[in-house]
Structure 1
Amino acid sequence: ADANTAYRNFFASLTGKRRGRRVGAPRFRSRRDNRQAIRFTRNARFAVTDGRMLRLPKIGDVKLAWSRDLPSEPSSVTIVKDASGRYFASFVVVTTDEPLPELDTEVGIDLGLSTFAVLSDGTVIESPRFFRRAERRLRRAQQNLSRKQKGSRNRAKARIEVAKAHARVSDARTDWAHKHSTTLIRENQAIYVEDLCVTGLARTRLAKSVHDAGWGMFTRMLEEKAARYGRVFGKVDRFFPSTQTCSDCGRVDGKKPLSVRTWTCPCGAVHDRDLNAARNILAAGRAERLNACGETVSLPA
């Protein structure tokens, strides 16, 4: 079914019937991640039993650790085996998301490395640094793998241990991002962040810290949850001088090295670097939102 859809989109793109960017020819999926998956549709007659077990054709009843109740009857289920040997069941269901009650609060977020984020209201979210904390354990697991003979059973066992160690880091980071993004969505009507070039930053000497922070995943969660629950999410241009601009008078005071954490504007205002940037991101996000609505906006000179 997936191959049929892929070829249909490919030929429709060639003939011009499909709008949008051109779709390439179907290719075999990469096997780098050692991930396996199989999908059962309704025609396969899978079922969720009264005992909350998953009945699969030619396999039988499979016991599940349910993360949540299904909101509706599933149309398909995909069984996934990840690199660490864990199995997951992913159901396709129909949901109806209700928007959250409207609020008057809006927030700008300045993402960083020393602290994960500083909000325009002064709240500081510390960086969890999951990879840094697990780096020693990951190194030992990788060294143990490198000592094993290729093709041996012990090497296969060591590979799974490495995959499990990375999975623990990834799961902890994802869980942390979900909890904090949900809190921000619940407590604010509008959220504005800077449109960071994560790909470019990941090519610098800060690459390990940038990947460990997970900015892209966090902002994607904010955007998806905002659309789901009727909130406003906006990105401010990455070239906007949020760090250089005084949030009180609007004066642009020039570039500042990362070592400068506080600075004084000629108007007399003393700014924390990250807090000032978060306030400027909030102001710029509001201005873009009002301009999109056709309202007149006046910013500090």
Structure 2
Amino acid sequence: MLTLTYEYKLIPDRRQIEVIENTLDVCRSVWNYALRERKDWLNSRKSPVNACSLKQEYIIPVDTPYPNCNNQSKALTEAKKTNDRLKSVNAQVLQQVLRTLDRAFADMQSKKMGFPRFKNKYRLRSYVYPQMLKDCVSASLNTGVKGNQIKLPQLGLVKFRKSRDIPNGFEVKQARIVRRASGYFVMLSLQLDVNIPDVPFHGHPLGIDLGLDKFLATSDGELVARPRFLNQLHRKLKLRLRSASTPSVVEVLKLLQRRLRNKIKGSNNRHKLNQKIARLHQRISDTRKDWHFKLAHSLCDQAQSIFIEDINFISWAKGMLRKHTLDASFGQFVTILNWVAWKRDVFVAKVDKNYTSQICPNCGFHTGKKLLSEREHNCPECGYRTHRDVAAAQVIRNRGVEEYALHQDALGHSVSENVCGDGLAGAAMPSQESVKQKLLNANLRIPRYIALSN
């Protein structure tokens, strides 16, 4: 089963905006009520079995079952019969809120995530229609004068910016309405009942070393500087600043946040100022994401197999350099790189990260570099010299080629031609047309196979 998500900018009218805001407000109330119910039940069971607690006692009867998703869904169905506010929202949307809360509790135990939090009007920004009509796309997106409209429950036909067509054969299964600082968006979940084969290891391999001194270094010797989006991005805002020059983002954020401190909570002025800060943060986020996509396409132009380190970026974000790590957003870049590589038939894999900056890529000698200030790799064994990050990228490439080339050879594929130019072997790629290209009607994937065998 192939699943894709397409995002479009909505252009709702005033009535539709009121419906969206009312739905978000009711979903927030359902979330907070259900979370409060679960917390009360858990707090009432904290007292020891054989003794009374000095701080709290049972406030819920002992025979009361735990308010799980099924029990709360049944209670919600009964409450909708008498509550007009709950009646005004699609029933499946509210049920989906309870499923999301149940998944949050499951992630808290399995993934060691934090306890679910209560939502205010700024925190809950989306809701889901779990089922869509079969003709919501075919009748409104692809044909006729309704090509820039989509039919959504309770909203009716909503205009949107048709940035790209939905591929033929895909069905719209779900729709998520998202409120952002720049407006409202719809995220359509598309499904196609087909199995797509994984991209095999082939062609010219490329190792990538991620870091904070340079955003990344490639095994081919390319160094990409880390753009400091938060510090260097400039934007012309209509603010009364003493300086005539355009302020930096940091200066603007500090100014706006100082103003926000003096605003009364709940006032319209505070709400307007919060919107300005949110738009500025979204501008930074959009710029970062656009740069990540362009860099991912540039890397896919250079190689047919890419290897990266298997790094836990969550631990990086909790370290001393967490601000710079979050500004670079390495995790988002790796996700985008996997998606772009999937579209363009480029193989991507992760390798072991240990000692990549300590080993010589030429002879395998352990050089023992310990200080981050040592930016040059100089092997005392073979005399190989290059940039430290480039040497680490070459070690990553060597590990990936050794692991996956042997795997391809074990499966019976030929590894016959040297494509690296430095003693590394690459898998010979057949020149047949991509299977995904046929299935997706040349709409999603851009195959970049290079036939290495004549």
- TM-score tier (shorter): 0.7 to 0.9
Other-structure match for 2:126: 36
- Residue 157 of structure 1 aligns to which amino acid in structure 2? K
Does residue 54 of structure 1 match 2:144?
Answer: no
Structure 1, unaligned stretches of length 5 or more? Answer: 15-20
Q: 1:45 to 1:286 in 2, by over 3 A?
A: closer
Task: Give me the CA root mean square deviation.
Answer: 3.6
Other-structure match for 1:244: 358
User: For this pair of structures, how many residues does the alignment match?
Assistant: 284
Residues 110, 117 of structure 1: 8 Å contact kept: yes
Q: 1:45 to 1:156 in 2, by over 3 A?
A: farther
Structure whose CA Rg is larger? 2
Other-structure match for 1:206: 321
Does residue 147 of structure 1 match 2:267?
Answer: no
Deviations 1:127-146 (A, max 9, x none): 12212223222222222222
Q: Which of 254, 258, 275 is residue 390 of structure 2 equivalent to?
A: 275
Q: CA deviation at 1:57?
A: 4.5
Residues 132, 172 of structure 2: 8 Å contact kept: yes
Q: Which of 372, 376, 383 is residue 258 of structure 1 equivalent to?
A: 372
Q: CA deviation at 1:223?
A: 2.7
Q: CA deviation at 1:107?
A: 0.3
Rounded Cα–Cα distance in structure 2 between residues aligned with 1:30 and 1:98: 42
TM-score where L is the length of structure 2: 0.55
Does residue 82 of structure 1 match 2:196?
Answer: no
Q: Please give the secondary structure, in 1, of the residue aligned with 2:164.
A: coil
Other-structure match for 2:275: 160
Q: Please give the secondary structure, in 1, of the residue aligned with 2:161.
A: coil
Q: 1:236 to 1:76 in 2, by over 3 A?
A: closer
Q: Which of 156, 159, 168 is residue 63 of structure 1 equivalent to?
A: 159
Q: Which moved more, 1:272-281 or 1:181-190?
A: 181-190
Q: CA deviation at 1:23?
A: 10
Residues 96, 130 of structure 2: 8 Å contact kept: no
Other-structure match for 1:17: none
Rounded Cα–Cα distance in structure 1 between residues aligned with 2:280 and 2:366: 46
Q: CA deviation at 1:159?
A: 1.0
TM-score where L is the length of structure 1: 0.80
Q: CA deviation at 1:222?
A: 2.2
Q: Which moved more, 1:251-260 or 1:78-87?
A: 78-87
- Identity, % of aligned positions: 30
Residues 358, 368 of structure 2: 8 Å contact kept: yes
Q: Please give the secondary structure, in 2, of the residue aligned with 1:116.
A: strand
Q: CA deviation at 1:101?
A: 11
Rounded Cα–Cα distance in structure 2 between residues aligned with 1:188 and 1:288: 18
Q: Which moved more, 1:101-110 or 1:37-46?
A: 37-46
Q: 1:186 to 1:254 in 2, by over 3 A?
A: same
Other-structure match for 1:170: 285
Q: Please give the secondary structure, in 2, of the residue aligned with 1:166.
A: helix
- Residue 283 of structure 1 aligns to which amino acid in structure 2? N
Rounded Cα–Cα distance in structure 2 between residues aligned with 1:175 and 1:78: 24
Rounded Cα–Cα distance in structure 2 between residues aligned with 1:57 and 1:249: 64
Other-structure match for 1:112: 211
Q: Please give the secondary structure, in 2, of the residue aligned with 1:246.
A: coil
Deviations 1:87-136 (A, max 9, x none): 01222334687999996211000111122111111122221221222322
Residues 244, 255 of structure 1: 8 Å contact kept: yes
- Residue 322 of structure 2 aligns to which amino acid in structure 1? A
Rounded Cα–Cα distance in structure 2 between residues aligned with 1:288 and 1:30: 47
Structure 2, unaligned stretches of length 5 or more? Answer: 1-91, 233-248, 416-422, 425-454
Q: CA deviation at 1:38?
A: 4.1
Other-structure match for 2:222: 123
